[in-house]
Amino acid sequence: MSESPQHHGQWSSRIAFIIAASGSAIGLGNIWKFPYLLGENGGGAFVLVYIACVIGIGLPIMMAETMIGRRGQRSPIHTMTVLAKEAKATPLWQIAGWLGVLAGFLILSYYSVIAGWSMAYLFKMVGGFMDQVGPEEAQQVFMDLKAAADVQLVWHSLFMALTTAILMKGLTEGIERVTRVMIPSLFLMLLALDVYAATTPGFWEGMTFLFKPDFSKITPDSLLIAMGQAFFSLGLGMGSIMIYGAYLPKNVSIGRSSVIVSIADTAVALMAGIAIFPVVFSNHLPPSMGPGLIFETLPLAFSHMPLGALFGSLFFLLVFFAAITSAIALIEPAIAYLIETFDYSRQKASAIACGVCWFLGLGTLGSFTGGNQWQWHGKTFFELIDFVTADVMLPLGGILIAVFAGWVMKEKVSAAELDLGRYLRYWQIGSRYIAPLAVTLILLKALGLF
Ligand code: TRP
């Protein structure tokens, strides 16, 4: 293992870190998953529960993860090893790092396939192939895409190639440069879509659905879904924020940056809801279409609206931006690990890591096209990977990170690194008690043990 932690470089400024970390957090989870979970779990009340989860659980873990990363200055695996040694704890803590690197790999392998769909739809929208489609056609287009291995292979490969190219360029020239352009444009596009949504006849119906809480819809199940989603959406529990924290200059306030990133992530999820539901209601379509919401319902809705092709294209461009800025963060821990351990060049490490990921993605692709033939305990390859990562590995990683930061690290080390002043107590209560307990519940529930 390299003893010099400095060969990775640093963010050029505080804002560069905030933008890159927001890019990692803002992803398919915000624009694809959050709206359909909301649609299935009763709207407004889910929003409230979700926000409570972000504040009570997500934020303390984000601070913990960033803090561990900056203290360790290395890839999550080596960081956990070094910090465990510093705290005189067992080297087994590096398992948390391994878990993260592996989870990132697995998530990206399917993430890239779905990101590929967004590119395919961008292409369809811009090319005018979705003008005036009917409900059956819209459904057919989505089913055809999911069945077409060759088409998905092209988009999946293109997406991974772009991701690799960005990563090869490195921190400043690659990640910073791309996120600096894409994240602000994403906000602007989303704002434009929100304004557009405000002009549609279904606007108030959409807003009522989003923001009027109906607590009878809150079941223990939806509570846990909200917690899991907060976790996934903030991109926690798997070392991405840890590696981004490793590139963070010492003088930047972790507390303030984490608050900004959490607000940005939540704002984008809500803004996506504001863009989507009025359009859906304006066309008298159901809000609870599940995973097909943005790929089936939304194109249908746009196809019947004035300027629909324009705003539809904008929407899928935005999904693509959100996806690629997350993709680079998902695989960065693995790349940093390869560079540190084998002394690879950044180019070589990126090519290897992304190549393996591309290959794994073929499994997900096959599980969509293969008519779901290959199943294990009733789950396809895609569902299995999604379950193992989002429902098991991320919560487990999150518990380990919170416990390590809250209990194992010396208090004077974490306190100095976080520099939270009188808010330190809040962080301690979160990372010592609330987060580990709550996340343990998510985990037990996912495993069917509770
Ligand atoms: N936060 C991303 C999203 O909302 C998904 C994600 C989960 C992620 N873990 C991550 C992204 C780690 C980057 C790094 O879609």
For position 230, which CATH number holds?
1.10.4160
Round the average pLDDT of the chain to a whole number and report it: 92
Question: Is 4 within a domain?
Answer: no
Pocket test residue of 321, 326, 328 for ligand 1, highest count of atoms within 8 A of CB: 326
Task: Tell me the C-alpha distance between 84 and 292, whole Å.
Answer: 44
The verdict on the CB of residue 20 being under 6 Å from ligand 1 is no
Specify the range with the lowest mean pLDDT, choosing from 44-53, 140-149, 349-358, 367-376.
367-376
Task: Tell me the C-alpha distance between 110 and 108, whole Å.
Answer: 5
Pocket test residue of 30, 330, 332, 389 for ligand 1, highest count of atoms within 8 A of CB: 330
Question: Is 68 within a domain?
Answer: yes
Question: Is 5 within a domain?
Answer: no
How far is the centre of ligand 1, averaged over its atoms, from the C-alpha of 132 (Å)? 34
Task: Tell me the C-alpha distance between 28 and 25, whole Å.
Answer: 9
If you write DSSP's letter for every residue of 66-123 in order, what string do you get? HHHHHHH-S-HHHHHHHHHHHTT--GGGHHHHHHHHHHHHHHHHHHHHHHHHHHHHHH
Yes or no: say if 127 and 360 are a contact pair by the CB < 8 Å rule: no
Would the pLDDT of 447 be above 80? yes
Q: Which residues fall within 8 angstroms of residue 393, CB to CB, at 6 or more apart?
A: 99, 102, 103, 106, 237, 238
Residue 79 belongs to domain spanning = 14-446
Question: Is 7 within a domain?
Answer: no
Specify the range with the lowest mean pLDDT, choosing from 65-74, 166-175, 234-243, 281-290.
281-290
Would the pLDDT of 4 be above 70? no
How far is the centre of ligand 1, averaged over its atoms, from the C-alpha of 33 (Å)? 11
Number of domains in the chain: 1
* % of the chain beyond a pLDDT of 90: 73
Query: Which of the residue ranges 295-299, 365-369, 423-427 has the most confident prediction, judged by mean pLDDT?
Result: 423-427
Q: What φ, ψ does residue 379 adopt, rounded to 5°?
A: -115, 140
The pTM (predicted TM-score) of the whole model is: 0.94
Strand partners, 379: 376
Would the pLDDT of 310 be above 70? yes
Q: Which atom of ligand 1 is nearest to the CA of 103?
A: 9
Q: Which residue has the higher pLDDT, 76 or 128?
A: 76
Question: Is 8 within a domain?
Answer: no
The verdict on the CB of residue 238 being under 6 Å from ligand 1 is yes
Task: Tell me the C-alpha distance between 119 and 350, whole Å.
Answer: 22
* % of the chain beyond a pLDDT of 70: 98
Summarize pLDDT for 102-155 with one digit per residue, the tens. 999 999 999 999 999 999 999 999 988 888 888 888 889 999 999 999 999 999
Which one, of 67, 52, 21, 17, lies nearest residue 428 by Cα? 67
Question: Is 61 within a domain?
Answer: yes
Average pLDDT over residues 40-66: 93
